[in-house]
Chains A and B, each alone.
Chain A
Amino acid sequence: MNHLLTTEGLSREVLEGLLTDAQEFAEVLERPIPKVPALRGRTVATMFFEPSTRTKMSFDKAAKALSADTVAFSASTSSLSKGESLKDTALTVHAMGIDLMIVRHGATGAPWRLAEWLDIPIVNAGDGAHQHPTQALLDCLTITQRFGSLEGLKIAIVGDIRHSRVARSDMFAMSTLGADVTLVGPPTLLPVHMDGWPARTSTDLDAAIEDADVVYLLRVQTERGGGSVFPSLPEYTKRYGMTNDRFSRLKAKAVVLHPGPMNRGVEISHDVADDERALVLQQVSNGVAARMAVLFALLGGDSDV
């Protein structure tokens, strides 16, 4: 693995290897001194062309827990407005002596272009509605911690599938790890052409959650609002929200995941969000461990993992 750009096509062996390492790092993070010297002397750059404080903090913490130095680039402080091309920006930052770049961009494929232009590992921290592979890893780690593995689990991913990089990343990773994935949402938020996707689709949440072990709720982009892709937020909640009533109908051991930030009262009810079976905060903690595993795999010497 030279880069982490997508979960599509990652082998089960690679995914399981990253999860094994991530679990070790999760334990490091529990220590009184939650830091190891593994990447001492390395410098990683976070290149965020789209604001995301939480993901950036998580990567930053992961790099620092591995003793790497971090430098940050953000579009608001950048020269993009001066008309510099992405390639020039990347080459400029690279010339400062960067060993790895973590890239978040609002446009699909931006990390791919950087991987082509630069000879250092690139980690995709989210590109457009395309991929967000470390989110998939932290989600799979969270589920593994709960169920031992993903093999045979029934997982429903619910919401705006069409515009969700989380759904795409999770679907490929989860299905490679043996889960049975169903994508659930209103017809206007399901993708139009899905040839070869390792998942089924449904517009019926109540049917999909009957035997689900994991219900993964996507954030409703409230700025999309009602009246365009669905009639209104209350109507969305009624048909696709994890209400208290729906939660009570889940299997006893089923859990709820959410990538955050949550819209309480829209895709997830207030009570469900605070329930012990909503693993949202555990996901956040695991985000640091999963990202440590990725940085370690890409910078930790020659490696076939």
Chain B
Amino acid sequence: MSDLIITGGTVLTTDGPIRTDLRITDDRVSEIGQGLEASNVIDANEAWVGPGLVDMHSHLRDPGQDWKEDIATGTGAAAVGGYTAVLAMPNTIPVVDNAQIALYVSERGRRVGSADVYPSGCLTMGGDGERMAHIDEMWDAGVRVFTDDGTSVESAAVLRLAMEYIANLGGLVAQHAVDGAMSAHGYMHEGSVSSRLGMHGIPSEAEEIVISRDLALVRLTGVSYHVQHLSSMVGVGLIRQAKADGLPVTAEVTPHHLVFDHTDVASTDADFKMMPPLRSAEDRDALVLGLQDGTIDIVATDHAPHAPREKEVPFEHAPNGVIGLEWAASVTNSVIGDDQVRFFAALSSSPARIAQITDHGHAITIGSTANLVVFDPTERWTPTDSVSRSRNAPYFGRELIGRVRATVRAGQLTHGSTA
């Protein structure tokens, strides 16, 4: 098989960004240097070249809800968005609470995926928040991240036990930090917009309460703890303090929480409905600041496909979630600014480290697996469609800055083309 070279890019190496060409032979990076030649060429044309992106929060809906998405279509969207690896959330049908389903997800990913698929597992059986899931056998099947995403584990006692168990294994507890009772019947952020719309709200305190409690349990158990889809200013403040206190805590923010706020919900377009909800502009600004100053470690998509029919209903009746794999890099780029190192930290190396995905997220060196992305941080473009099976995105018709030119997974192009 002939080699593939990427020319004219700024390559993120272990020595930092360097303007150079690189050669890929089979599934490895084989040469880094100037003036390389081959028949298959990707002209990066001053764009960034770095490790393939890693999403720590994808709902691939497989098994069980293939009318929304499946592993083939979901990883197809991931490839378009520059991702070479995704962490699949376990709230499928059936849920991933045992090794068999976890193995199905990783095996299916190997067969049909355009990106490497890593299963996460539930903390509790069926995600019921009561009985501990088959954490041990899932660990042996390769699961490293445990979460009941979609719901918060309501019982502090149950969560404490799961944390103790997972801490001993060396895994990660990831929390959907939205208090169930405080968010019951709520559809959007509780604030001036919800009051005006007469819509039941979900106060920021719903997030604050769960994170505060969980931090106490982290102190108790010593487990590595990750807050999913952080949404509020007060939440950012708690994480900042926890890190200052030296706790093993990390946090993610979604692309949509970085650019939208609750005033976008005033249209009652269900493509702005998700959990946690879009909060105030003040919250959004705090999230952006938190990402810039490192309080928030990563951007994770919370890619949550729903069929058009499910979203073409009144806001209150629509399911939560929006898709985002294809645009997260662009959104992150526009928020972070012109900073290649920080960009790849937020989207690749940090999520890979936190989720213990060892084959991805490394600066490029000779001999490493060729999981790469070519990203042009300057191109302005306006998305109009998606390759996901669903279309529930708030980005259509809005200009974004920065675009994925090509994605290479294990030496193979999964998005883009050679000249």
A residues with a Cβ closer than 8 A to B are 8, 83, 85-88, 105-110, 112-113, 117, 127-131, 162-165, 168, 191-197
Give B380 Cβ to nearest chain A Cβ, in Å: 27
User: What is the bound-complex CA distance between A302 and B191, given in angstroms?
Assistant: 38
A108 and B315 contact, CB distance less than 8 A: yes
Q: Nearest A residue to B195 by beta-carbon distance? A: A191
Give A298 Cβ to nearest chain B Cβ, in Å: 21
Give A89 Cβ to nearest chain B Cβ, in Å: 10
B198 and A129 contact, CB distance less than 8 A: yes
A85 and B312 contact, CB distance less than 8 A: yes
A193 and B314 contact, CB distance less than 8 A: no
In this complex, how many residues of chain B approach chain A with their Cβ under 8 Å: the count is 23
Q: Which residues of A contact B310 (CB under 8 A)?
A: 85
- Looking at B199, B269, B314, the one whose CB has the most chain A CB atoms below 10 A away is B314
Instruction: Assess A194 versus B315: contact at CB under 8 Å? Given A88-B309, A108-B268, A113-B268.
Output: no
Kindly state whether residue B316 has any CB partner on chain A within 8 Å: yes
Q: Which 7 A-B pairs have the closest CB atoms?
A: A109-B268, A129-B198, A107-B314, A87-B312, A130-B198, A191-B195, A107-B316
Kindly state whether residue B190 has any CB partner on chain A within 8 Å: yes
Chain A contact residues: helix, strand, loop or mixed: loop
Give A185 Cβ to nearest chain B Cβ, in Å: 13
| Contact with A110, one of B194, B196, B267, B314 (Cβ below 8 angstroms) | B314
Q: Nearest B residue to A117 by beta-carbon distance? A: B312
CB pairs A–B below 8 angstroms (15 shown): A85-B310, A86-B312, A105-B314, A108-B315, A112-B267, A113-B269, A113-B312, A117-B312, A131-B198, A193-B190, A193-B191, A193-B194, A194-B195, A196-B192, A197-B196
* Interface residue ranges of B161-203 to A (CB < 8 Å): 190-192, 194-199, 201, 203
Instruction: Assess A128 versus B199: contact at CB under 8 Å? Given A107-B315, A107-B316, A108-B316.
Output: yes
User: What is the bound-complex CA distance between A191 and B197, given in angstroms?
Assistant: 11
15 further A-B pairs in the complex, CB-CB below 8 A; given A112-B267, A128-B316: A8-B196, A86-B312, A86-B313, A86-B317, A87-B312, A107-B313, A108-B198, A109-B268, A110-B314, A113-B312, A117-B312, A129-B198, A129-B199, A192-B191, A196-B192
B199 and A86 contact, CB distance less than 8 A: no
B313 and A112 contact, CB distance less than 8 A: no
| Contact with A85, one of B191, B195, B197, B313 (Cβ below 8 angstroms) | B313
A192 and B195 contact, CB distance less than 8 A: yes
* Interface residue ranges of B258-307 to A (CB < 8 Å): 267-269
- Looking at B191, B195, B198, B269, the one whose CB has the most chain A CB atoms below 10 A away is B198
User: What is the bound-complex CA distance between A69 and B414, given in angstroms?
Assistant: 58
Q: Nearest A residue to B311 by beta-carbon distance? A: A85
User: What is the bound-complex CA distance between A131 and B198, given in angstroms?
Assistant: 8
Give A160 Cβ to nearest chain B Cβ, in Å: 11
Q: Nearest B residue to A130 by beta-carbon distance? A: B198
B195 and A193 contact, CB distance less than 8 A: yes
Give A183 Cβ to nearest chain B Cβ, in Å: 11
| Contact with A192, one of B197, B201, B309 (Cβ below 8 angstroms) | B201
Q: Which residues of A contact B197 (CB under 8 A)?
A: 108-109, 128, 130
Q: Which residues of B contact A88 (CB under 8 A)?
A: 309, 312
Give A117 Cβ to nearest chain B Cβ, in Å: 8
Give B394 Cβ to nearest chain A Cβ, in Å: 15
B196 and A168 contact, CB distance less than 8 A: yes
Give A75 Cβ to nearest chain B Cβ, in Å: 12
User: What is the bound-complex CA distance between A174 and B191, given in angstroms?
Assistant: 23
Give B5 Cβ to nearest chain A Cβ, in Å: 49
User: What is the bound-complex CA distance between A88 and B308, given in angstroms?
Assistant: 11
Give A173 Cβ to nearest chain B Cβ, in Å: 15
| Contact with A112, one of B196, B268, B316 (Cβ below 8 angstroms) | B268
